[in-house]
Amino acid sequence: MEIAVIIVFALGYLAITLEHNLKVDKMVAALATMAVAWAIIALGHLQVFEVDTVLRKLVPTHLEEILLHHLGKTAEILFFLIGAMTIVEIIDHFDGFSTIKSFVKTKKKSSLLWIFCILGFVLSAIIDNLTATIVLITILKKIIEKREQRIWFVGLIIISANAGGAWSPIGDVTTTMLWMANKVSADKLVMYLFVPSLACMVVPVFIASRMKIFKGEIDTKETKEEVKKTDNFGAIMLYLGLSAIVFVPIFKTITHLPPYMGMMLSLSLVALFAEVFSRKKFEMKKVFAGETNGDHAHSPIHTALTKIEMPSILFFLGILLAVAALESLGQLFHFAGWLNTAIPNSDIVVMIFGVASAIIDNVPLVAASIGMFSEPANDFIWHFIAYSAGTGGSMLIIGSAAGVVAMGMEKIDFFWYFKKIAWLAFIGFIVGAVVFMGMRTMF
């Protein structure tokens, strides 16, 4: 029966990987994989285990207890993401991200490339790499009219956003997973990965800036945009929202409470100011009850909640609990033992993870690694996994959430990206990995 669970997981994983070919949302495959895998465990009365990380052995437990344990850990991640997504949508409701456009004062292509890539690197560490990519592409469309020129900038933004997300506990879903699983701490993550991630971004951008496509100046796209009534508060909400998200790791350090608690506090503060600025009253209960009367229809929080990507939330639910099924059967524990025997060098294993994350989704890869390795918190292997999974996906446009959303927004061809951008991403990935391994000897 355990073989049946593995087969179901493999088929589900394949469906997720071939999402674009099958034209079926990966959420569907993830939820089905989760439900069927756990159903087989229940109907087959299979023994489930917890991993004793101290004794490095499997400890038998009850199905209800282990499932509730995994559901609780998964819910922590999901509510954290919901809070972060809502704050970002509230900022966007007030058109706060348009403030960033004021930072762009040049028409020189190479200078513009550096500005957007640095913004991508910094913003992704605060609001996550997916959102940073969406924001910067939206702004880029207002500056560069020719798509043929713009997609080159987008390609480097993807690399920069993924690199920026790797060194922040809130910059990438996989890094957030490691942080919330207490495998890495926020201060050590920044200490160990900031420089390697910076190298991963700087080297490809430096090489690209010397290429012919980034020589000369652009023709600025002049457009007359309607000014929203909420624009007076745009800058305020931008700085307030970003500060609230940055506050979350500080809250965790001070209180030692799970990160989602800090995110909920930050969301409540941002929502309070949003309601004051919009002069609207809001009752959360009525939103979930489906009541949208005149007072609530234009509430910034109500608007933000309706824009949250629930398919992504449900995908994370499905894939994390599907991986948990394999972990509970002890399969990941045994696979880790085999892997360590076959490839004793853990650096090679982690770099293989990084390359693999360009082909298959990095969320289940990291979820699997958490169950595979039993090293203590802040061991270098966890930080290397965070780096590899976060930046390795840049090598293919379908290898990261940032790449997929850019592909959709700009209709970028898979093979164009592979020919023009992939080699730059690969160089950045290798350089950053070498820098990390070099720095490791200093700590």
Asked if 133 and 156 count as a contact pair (C-beta separation under 8 A), the reply is no
With cut-offs at 50, 70 and 90, classify the pLDDT of residue 282: very low
**3-class SS of residue 27:** helix
Q: Do the beta carbons of residue 385 and residue 351 sit within 8 Å?
A: no
Beta bridge partners of 108: 217
- Residue 289: per-residue pLDDT: 54
Pick from 53, 69, 7: nearest CA to 370: 53
Q: Using a pLDDT cut of 90, give the percent of the chain over it.
A: 38
Domain boundaries, the chain: 2-440
- Binned at pLDDT 50, 70 and 90, residue 4 comes out as very high
Q: CA 186 to CA 182: how far, in whole Å?
A: 10
Q: Please determine, for residue 274, whether its predicted confidence score (pLDDT) is greater than 80.
A: yes
The answer to whether 136 and 123 have CB atoms below 8 angstroms apart is: yes
* The pLDDT of residue 285 is above 70: no
The residues facing 217 across adjacent strands are 108
Average pLDDT of the chain to the nearest whole number: 85
Q: What number is the average pLDDT over the span 424-431?
A: 96
Examine the pLDDT at 35 and tell me if it is beyond 50. yes
Cα separation, 124 vs 166, whole angstroms: 9
| pLDDT exceeds cutoff 60 at 290 | no
pLDDT given for residue 220 in this prediction: 58
Q: Which among 394, 382, 381 has a CA at the least distance from the CA of 429?
A: 394
The confidence score (pLDDT) of residue 300 equals 80
d(C-alpha 379, C-alpha 286), whole Å: 46
- In the numeric block, which tokens belong to residue 321? 């609990």
User: Residue 281: what pLDDT?
Assistant: 44
Q: What is the pLDDT of residues 332-367, one digit of tens each?
A: 777 767 877 788 788 898 898 888 888 766 777 787
- Inform me whether the pLDDT recorded for 124 exceeds 60: yes
Nearest-CA neighbor of 405 among 166, 153, 171, 134?
134
Would you mind telling me the total number of residues written for the chain in this entry? Answer: 443
What is the pLDDT confidence band of residue 224, given thresholds at 50, 70 and 90?
very low
pLDDT tens for 299-318 read 787 888 888 878 888 988 99
Strands (DSSP E) contained in 164-311 are: none
Q: What is the DSSP string of 120-150?
A: HHHHHHHH-HHHHHHHHHHHHHTTB--HHHH
| pLDDT for residue 6 | 92
Above 90 in pLDDT, residue 156? yes
Tens of pLDDT, residue by residue over 61-110, are 899 999 998 999 889 888 988 888 888 889 888 888 888 777 777 788 99
CA atoms within 13 Å, Cβ hemisphere of 137: 27
CA 321 to chain centre: 18
Sequence-distant (≥ 6) Cβ neighbours of residue 139 within 8 angstroms: 97, 98, 100, 101, 104
Task: Give pLDDT tens digits for 235-265.
Answer: 899 899 989 988 988 998 899 898 899 999 9
Cα 243 from Cα 221, distance rounded (Å): 31
Integer Cα distance of 118 and 164 in angstroms: 9
Sign of torsion over alpha carbons 176, 179, 180, 185: negative
Sorting pLDDT into bands at 50, 70 and 90, what band is 23?
Answer: confident
